Amino acid sequence: MSPDTPTSAPILELRDLTVDFGGVRAVNSFNMAVAPGELVGLIGPNGAGKTTIFNLITNAYQATAGQILMEGKSLRGLTPDRICHRGISRTFQNIRLFPFMTAYENVELSIHSAPQYSLFEAFVRLPRARRKERESRARAHQLLETVGLDKLAQARAGSLPYGLQRRLEIARAMAASPRILLLDEPAAGMNEDECKDLVQLIRQIHETQGYTIIMIEHHMAVVMDLCRKSRIYVMQLGANLATGGPEQIQNDPQVIKAYLGERKNGH
Amino acid sequence: MGYLQAITILSGCNLLAVLGMAVLTGYTGLFSIGHAGFMALGAYMGGILGKEMGWNLVPCLLGAGLFSGIISLGIGYPAFRSRLRGDYFAIATLGFAEALRLLLNNIHSIGKWRLGGAYGYMDLPELKHMTFLPDWAVVVIVCLIALWVTHMFITSQYGMNCIAIRQDEAAAEMMGVDLLRTKLLALFVSAFLAAVGGALLAFYFGYINPSFFGIQRSSDLLASVVFGGIQSLIGPAITAILIVAVPQLLLTFALYRFIVYGLLFVVVMVFRPQGLFGYVQMNSRWITRFFRHKPPEAMEQP
């Protein structure tokens, strides 16, 4: 069995995914298959098209060609909010919290982005609506605790330090009760200690919640650590370059070439 | 006393429309410069229901609100489907309000109903004859109900979705907020409230005229929200009352009103771009927070 084939039926599969922006082919026939419960890394040099892949999965950009299948069903053409309700949630490379909401509200919003009671119940707050709100409040606090932000629940999201904003984004993404979590550079801008904490957090939520996680990351230490037992996809110029376990990737001549460039021997 | 009552009623009608604008602009971030159009719809529909159908006050107000709300969906659906935002949506609403005003100016009658065109729609039932309460009390009660309902709406899960859209539309959509539906809902609520305000105005005067609902009024409504504060109900509510009451109380200086307006706006936009009461929720906490030296989040930071 080749290393890029997961062992069981994939929960998410990208087939020959392609997108053109004007004359630029940002993603070119990209293939990926992720098994349920896997934690897969997605790396590549700057501009390789990694974030574009996430934007295509969540349909923030419309693909030009190819297929995006979740459990065999196509996601193309669904609006981003529908895709979220199908069970795909994400964080953003450039943090996109709701800056003027509190940390708690950010998480709570995502729990009930599809309101759980009718408009009439909203106006008069019948007991059912109040109960639903109590439930989501409890869950929001529990999620904040998971990422270690329970004491800052009432702080304005925009006023939190950078590293905590990243954690809050993870909590918010988890609040949507996803089955697939897309993490876009969760360790960007973090120092070594913060990275270690983050690795621990991601591993913990991966193990306890049973999410399937796809993670874009530039911090090699983070990727290599988290994807020890699984696979890493390497992208270059919008296409698959290599796939395999950490050691395999680190020793792949093509990957080394893509990252470090090529010596001009004899040219 | 009659004078004070008149000011109460006029500012109450204005308050209703401004509450609608607060939901649409202050919370959802959609700018409308044609909200007087929804007031006009409410005024004329209320007039028709009251005068031609002989309905009572409450069904008249609800009918006027529903009618205007449904029309607003007709404008909102194509606009939001094609993702009109910011200035473009504002222009769409302006177009609607002006087209409606011109239409009303030129429709002299629909069947037996004599809307009167530019002469105005006359002999409407008067507020003081419609209920056993004095007219100003009716307006105050309607305003209190509207404040309560709006407060409930914006603190509900629906309202949170509106707030999310204003703060980051793309992120809200990817977190699962249905943009089209939420925006239409905000527009519906806001058109409903504006129409109730318009209908009350019609019943107070017993007469309406398309020129009541020109761009001047639309911009007053928008100004109340921007001035009073985004993501706040109490700020726009106070401004809505002041914007009617102050020029009335200081009638001798009425001519200078626009100079003062202009000046105030520049000052507020420079020093408090979020508006006087921006991000202030309508509850007891804001009072204590308002007088505290440090905002609480600054203290909670590690």
Residue B163, chain A, CB below 8 Å: the answer is yes
What's the mean pLDDT in B165-180?
Answer: 93
pLDDT value of position B288: 59
Question: What average pLDDT does the structure give for chain A?
Answer: 89
CA B8/CA A232 separation, integer angstroms: 69
* CATH class of domain segment(s) A1-87+178-267: alpha beta
Residue A239, chain B, CB below 8 Å: the answer is no
Q: Please tell me whether residue A217 adopts helix, strand or coil conformation.
A: coil
pLDDT value of position A179: 93
Degrees to nearest 5, angle at CA B176 with B71 and A84: 135
Burial class from Cβ neighbours inside 10 Å (0-12, 13-18, 19+) for residue A90 reads buried
pLDDT value of position B94: 94
Is the pLDDT at B95 greater than 60? The verdict is yes
**Torsion angle, CA of B207/B73/B223/B46, rounded to 10 degrees?**
20
C-alpha separations of A4 from A15, A30, A68, A230 in Å? 13, 12, 17, 10
pLDDT tier at A213 (50, 70, 90 boundaries)? very high
A vs B, Cβ pairs < 8 A, gives 110
Is the pLDDT at B132 greater than 60? The verdict is yes
What element of type H or E holds A181?
A: strand A180-184
pLDDT value of position B289: 57
Ordered by start, the domain boundaries in chain A are 1-87+178-267, 98-172
pLDDT tier at B281 (50, 70, 90 boundaries)? low
Pairing of strands A24-34, A12-21: antiparallel
Residues of chain B positioned with their CB less than 8 A from the CB of A152:
300, 302
pLDDT value of position B286: 56
User: Who has greater pLDDT, B265 or A265?
Assistant: B265
User: Who has greater pLDDT, B80 or B291?
Assistant: B80
Is the pLDDT at A9 greater than 80? The verdict is yes
pLDDT in tens, A143-194: 999 999 989 999 999 999 988 999 999 999 999 999 999 999 998 888 888 8
- CB proximity under 8 Å: A 48-67 to B: 58, 60
Is the pLDDT at A3 greater than 60? The verdict is no
Residue B161, chain A, CB below 8 Å: the answer is yes
Is the pLDDT at B240 greater than 70? The verdict is yes
**Cβ <8 Å between A112 and B298:** no
What's the mean pLDDT in B116-143?
Answer: 89
Is the pLDDT at B290 greater than 80? The verdict is no
CA distance A80 to chain B (A): 5
Nearest to B175 among A109, A123, A156 (CB): A109
What element of type H or E holds A13?
A: strand A12-21
Is the pLDDT at B295 greater than 50? The verdict is no
Decide: A256 and A232 in contact? Cβ < 8 Å.
Answer: no
Is the pLDDT at B299 greater than 70? The verdict is no
Decide: B115 and B109 in contact? Cβ < 8 Å.
Answer: yes
pLDDT in tens, A42-81: 999 888 999 999 999 999 999 999 999 999 899 998 999 9
Q: What domains does chain B contain, in order, with CATH numbers? A: 2-300 (1.10.3470)
pLDDT value of position B284: 53
Question: What average pLDDT does the structure give for chain B?
Answer: 87
pLDDT value of position A2: 43
Number of H helices, E strands in chain A: 10, 10
pLDDT tier at A115 (50, 70, 90 boundaries)? confident
Is the pLDDT at B302 greater than 50? The verdict is no
pLDDT value of position A17: 94
